[in-house]
C-alpha cells in the first residue's frame, strides 16, 4: 500500500492505488463518470475502501463554490406525504454524491425565507420549496443571488422569474378525477373538505372539483366547501383532526353531502373517523376520497380511495435538475414539469344507496 501524507489518505493516494490519474478520481468523486468504464470505477472504489479515503466536503465546497447538499423545505413532515417526498429526494441526492438538509416551514413565507437564507449561508446553492405559495416573491432575492430553485406543487405563474424550475402533479385534473368518480357512482351532493384554500395546489384542486360539477350540470354550492377558519394556519400538522371536524360539521347540514372530496389523505382519514363518531358509516352513508395515496391509505378501514401522486418520481426529478444546474450541465431532456395523477379505487367509495337523497 502506498504511503499517505500526514496519516490521512489523499486523492493522489487513491489515484496511485487505482492506477488512474488524479483527474479521473476527481471526476468520479464529482459524478462526472458517465463515460467511465465499470472496471475503472471498481478500481477507484476498491482503492478508496482500502485507504479508508473520505473526500473532504469543505475542500469540494472551496473548489466548486457550493456545498454538496440539496435543501428541501416542506410544509410539515407530520404529513406522511412529505416524509415520502424527502425520502425519495434523499435517495436521488445520495446516488449523486449529495446530501439533503430538511426544514419545515408550516407554509409561512417568513419561515421559509429564514430556512433558505440559513441554507445559503452554509453554502447550499440548490433548494426545493414545497409549500405551493401563491407568490414566490420571498424566494426571488435568493434566486437572484445564485440560489437554484425548484418550486414544487405549483405551476409557473406569470410573475415568477424565469430561471426558477417548477414541478407538480396536475392538481386540477386530480380533483376532477376524484369528483368525477363520485359522480359516476351517483352522488350529487358532494362536499369539498380542505384547510384554508390559500395555496396554489389547493386552489387548483377546488377548481377541478368545480369543473367536474359543472361538466355534470350541477351548480356549485359554497355551503358544501369546508376550509376551517380563514384566520387559522394551513392545517398541515393537524390535517386529520381538521378532517374529522370538517366532516362532522358538513354532516350536520340540513342537506348533508353523500360524498366528500378531501384535500389530501390525512384530511380524508380524519374525515372517516369524524363521520364514524357522528354515527355515519363509510361508504354506506358517506363516500370519502383522498389525494396523495400515502402508504397508510391502503391500510385504513375501509381502505381509502384516493388520487395517487408519483411522489418518488417527482422528488428525484427535482433533485436531478438541481444537481445538473450546480454542475453546469444541461437539464435532463425528460424533465417533466407536470405529472399526471391516477385514480386509485378502494373501499371508501361506493354507489349511492336508496336512503341517500338524490337531486
CATH code at 244?
Answer: 3.40.50.2300
pLDDT for 45 equals: 85
At 331, the pLDDT band (50, 70, 90 cuts) reads: confident
**Residue 5 belongs to some domain of the structure:** no
- For the segment 20-24, the average pLDDT, to the nearest whole number, is 91
Q: Are residues 202 and 282 in the same domain?
A: yes
CB atoms within 10 A of CB 342: 14
**Residue 176 belongs to some domain of the structure:** yes
pLDDT tens-digit readout, 39-73: 998 999 899 889 887 665 545 554 555 679 999 99
Look up cell 490521512; give the residue. 8
Q: Are residues 86 and 136 in the same domain?
A: yes
pLDDT tens-digit readout, 288-306: 999 999 999 999 999 999 9
Q: Return the minimum-mean-pLDDT range out of 57-61, 128-132, 248-252, 343-347.
A: 57-61
At 320, the pLDDT band (50, 70, 90 cuts) reads: very high
At 211, the pLDDT band (50, 70, 90 cuts) reads: very high
pLDDT for 30 equals: 65
Beta partners for residue 308, in sequence order: 292, 342
- For the segment 157-179, the average pLDDT, to the nearest whole number, is 88
Q: Are residues 260 and 326 in the same domain?
A: no
pLDDT tens-digit readout, 110-121: 999 999 999 998
Q: Are residues 86 and 158 in the same domain?
A: yes
Domain count across the chain: 3
**Residue 255 belongs to some domain of the structure:** yes
Q: Are residues 152 and 180 in the same domain?
A: no
Q: Are residues 87 and 164 in the same domain?
A: yes
- Among the three residues 291, 309, 327, which one is the final residue of a domain in this structure? 309
**Residue 355 belongs to some domain of the structure:** no
pTM of the model: 0.81
Q: What is the three-state SS of the chain?
A: CCCCECCECCHHHHHHHHCCCHHHHHHHHCCCCCCCCHHHHHHHHHHHHHHCCCCCHHHHHHHHCCCCEEEEEECCCCCHHHHHHHHHHHHHHHHCCCEEEEEECCCCHHHHHHHHHHHHHCCCCEEEECCCCCCCCCCHHHHHCCCEEEEECCCCCCCCCCCCEEEEECHHHHHHHHHHHHHHCCCCCEEEECCCCCCHHHHHHHHHHHHHHHHCCCCCCHHHEECCCCCCCCCCCCHHHHHHHHHHHHHCCCCCCCEEEECCHHHHHHHHHHHHHCCCCCCCCCEEECCECCHHHHHCCCCCEEEECCHHHHHHHHHHHHHHHHCCCCCCCCCCCEECCEEECCCCCCCCCCCCCCC
Cell of 95: 446516488
At 122, the pLDDT band (50, 70, 90 cuts) reads: confident
- Among the three residues 309, 324, 353, which one is the final residue of a domain in this structure? 309
Instruction: State the number of CA atoms in the 13 A half-sphere of 184 facing the CB.
Output: 8
Cell of 307: 388520487
What share of the chain in percent tops pLDDT 70? 89
**Residue 15 belongs to some domain of the structure:** yes
**Residue 214 belongs to some domain of the structure:** yes
pLDDT for 163 equals: 73
Q: Are residues 201 and 214 in the same domain?
A: yes
Full domain range(s) for residue 36: 11-55
- Residue 111 and residue 236: Cα distance in Å, rounded? 15
Residue 280 pLDDT > 80: yes
Amino acid at each position: 500500500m502506498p504511503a499517505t501524507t500526514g496519516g490521512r489518505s489523499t486523492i493522489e493516494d487513491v489515484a496511485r492505488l487505482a492506477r488512474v490519474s488524479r483527474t479521473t478520481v476527481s471526476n468520479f468523486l464529482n459524478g462526472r463518470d458517465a463515460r467511465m468504464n465499470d472496471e475503472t470505477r471498481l478500481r477507484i472504489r476498491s482503492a478508496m475502501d482500502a485507504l479508508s479515503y473520505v473526500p473532504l466536503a469543505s475542500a469540494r465546497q472551496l473548489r466548486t463554490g457550493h456545498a454538496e447538499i440539496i435543501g428541501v423545505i416542506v410544509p410539515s413532515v407530520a404529513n406522511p406525504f412529505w416524509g415520502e417526498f424527502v425520502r425519495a429526494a434523499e435517495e436521488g441526492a445520495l446516488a449523486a454524491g449529495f446530501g439533503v438538509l430538511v426544514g419545515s416551514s408550516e407554509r409561512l413565507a417568513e419561515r421559509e425565507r429564514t430556512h433558505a437564507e440559513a441554507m445559503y449561508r452554509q453554502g447550499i446553492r440548490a433548494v426545493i420549496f414545497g409549500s405551493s405559495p401563491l407568490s414566490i416573491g420571498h424566494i426571488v432575492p435568493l434566486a437572484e443571488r445564485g440560489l437554484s430553485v425548484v418550486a414544487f406543487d405549483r405551476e409557473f405563474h406569470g410573475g415568477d422569474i424565469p430561471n426558477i424550475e417548477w414541478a407538480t402533479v396536475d392538481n386540477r385534473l386530480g380533483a376532477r378525477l376524484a369528483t368525477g368518480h363520485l359522480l359516476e357512482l351517483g352522488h350529487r351532493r358532494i362536499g369539498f373538505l380542505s384547510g384554508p384554500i390559500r395555496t396554489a395546489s389547493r386552489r387548483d384542486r377546488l377548481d377541478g372539483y368545480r369543473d367536474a360539477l359543472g361538466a355534470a350540470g350541477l351548480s356549485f354550492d359554497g355551503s358544501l366547501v369546508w376550509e376551517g377558519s380563514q384566520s387559522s394556519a394551513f392545517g398541515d400538522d393537524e390535517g386529520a383532526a381538521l378532517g374529522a371536524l370538517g366532516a362532522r360539521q358538513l354532516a350536520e347540514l340540513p342537506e348533508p353531502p353523500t360524498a366528500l372530496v378531501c384535500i389530501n389523505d390525512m384530511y380524508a382519514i380524519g374525515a372517516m373517523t369524524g363521520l364514524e363518531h357522528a354515527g355515519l358509516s363509510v361508504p354506506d352513508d358517506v363516500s370519502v376520497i383522498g389525494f396523495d395515496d400515502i402508504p397508510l391509505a391502503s391500510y385504513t378501514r375501509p381502505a381509502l380511495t384516493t388520487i395517487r401522486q408519483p411522489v418518488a418520481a417527482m422528488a428525484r426529478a427535482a433533485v436531478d435538475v438541481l444537481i445538473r444546474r450546480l454542475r453546469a450541465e444541461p437539464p435532463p431532456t425528460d424533465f417533466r414539469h407536470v405529472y399526471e395523477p391516477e385514480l386509485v379505487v378502494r373501499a371508501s367509495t361506493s354507489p349511492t344507496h336508496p336512503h341517500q337523497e338524490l337531486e
